[in-house]
Amino acid sequence: MDGVENVLEIRGLCKRYSGFALTNVSFSVPRGYVMGLIGPNGAGKTTTLKTILGLLQPDFGEIRTFGLDAALHGKKARARIGFVHDDPRFYDHLSLAQNAHIVRRFYRTWDPESFQRLAKSFGLPLEKRFGTLSRGNKTKFALALALSHRAEFVIMDEPTSGLDPVFRRDLLDSLTDLLQDERTSILFSTHITSDLERIADYITLIQHGRVVFSVAKDEILERWALVKGGLDLLDQLPADTFRGVRRGEHGFEALTDDAEATRARLGDAVIIDRASLDDVVLYTSGAASADEMVNVGASTLADDVGAEGGRTDA
């Protein structure tokens, strides 16, 4: 991301609670791109986003939004940021129009036409009370507000969590439309990684409060792969060969962060499949190795390997 203007730069961010610590978190979001922040529940995604918005005070580290130190210019930065919290809160007893009327006064760049257009395209009933809306419509309302003041940077914390597939698709379509201007950047945290496979340009993976990687999505999908093979092969390999391994009764499934090198090294002895972001989260979190490989039956694995012409003694 060198040489690209960043709307967000985080360097060495640390935040400690009792029982949890965000440690040395660093990543940046380039202008006009979508950064997906992924990781299991409790990994530190919300803490990171709240710290960017100034809702939490970092213990150490530096956050720069639009090149400004967030600790000193938080108010100025927030004027250019749109946010969608995981549980959007507005006045329940007021209508959407009344809530919007309150929020608009805080933004000099508020565009009423844009709000009306977004509300219409999201199908938001502006005369209805906020408290009567479904979870999906609440998120859409928060998004409409976030986008109606011409935000250059939109921060969304688990916006699709709890939404049904239709709502999720609508929301992602809206975001895709938004990105057409190539000016707005999005930081999108989620544990539903399939959403990010559709819209993200970059992915940052957080595990146990630490950044595992922060790279272009295509790079992950090209380089990282699932490897399937027999247990005897696995036993011959050094322990650090893979990023995570699931052992079955007769075979193993593992994640590699260098598909090419693995292919060159193990050749036809294994099957190498495309890894999804879900696989990456699962294996790097350690959840996979702690799991029993229930669904990967010996025959299936053996058949897979055999069909590829590899060793079938798994």
Partner 1 sequence: MLNLVWKDVAAARRVLLILIPLGILQLAVFASVGPFILPAALFFSAVLASGSIALEETQRTETLWASLPVSRGQIVFARYLTVLLGILVGLGLTCAVGQVVGRLMDTGLGAGSAASAGATTSATAMNPALFATSTALAPIFVVLILTAAIYLPFYFRWGAGRGAVILSAVGVGSLLIITLLVQWLMGENGYYSPMLQPGAWNTADPAARAAFEARLQEVVPWVLGGSVVGSVVLFALSSVASWVLYETRDL
Binding test (CB under 8 A) with partner 1, winner from 4, 55, 261, 307: 55
b (16+ CB within 10 A) / e for 22-34: bbebebbbbbbbb
Identity of the residue, 100 or 163, whose beta carbon is nearer to partner 1 in the bound complex? 100
By CB under 8 A, is residue 103 in contact with partner 1?
yes
Cα–Cα distance for residue pair 91/103, rounded to 1 Å: 11
By CB under 8 A, residue 21 contacts partner 1? no
Name the one range near partner 1 by CB under 8 A: 79-87, 240-248, 275-283, 287-295. Answer: 79-87
Candidate list 16, 101, 120, 265; residue touching partner 1; CB under 8 A: 101
Does position 98 interact with partner 1 (CB under 8 A)? The reply is yes
14 sits near partner 1 (criterion: CB under 8 A): no
Q: Does 75 bind partner 1 (CB under 8 A)?
A: yes
> Is residue 16 within the footprint of partner 1 (CB under 8 A)?
no
Binding part of the chain for partner 1, among 94-102, 114-122, 282-290, 297-305 by CB under 8 A, reads 94-102
CA–CA gap between residue 185 and residue 179 (Å, rounded)? 8
Question: Which residue from 27, 33, 66, 90 is in contact with partner 1, where contact means CB under 8 A?
Answer: 90
Tell me how far CA of residue 99 lies from CA of 111, 147, 149, in angstroms.
15, 15, 14
- Token pair for 103: 């929020």
Residue of 16, 93, 265, 274 that binds partner 1 (CB under 8 A) = 93
Binding of residue 56 to partner 1 (CB under 8 A): yes
The answer to whether residues 114 and 148 touch, using CB atoms and an 8 Å cutoff, is yes
Q: Is residue 159 a contact residue for partner 1 (CB under 8 A)?
A: no
- Contacting partner 1 (CB under 8 A), which of 106, 173, 218, 295? 106
Question: Which residues here bind partner 1, judged by CB under 8 A?
Answer: 50, 53-57, 74-76, 78-79, 83, 85, 89-94, 98, 101-103, 105-107
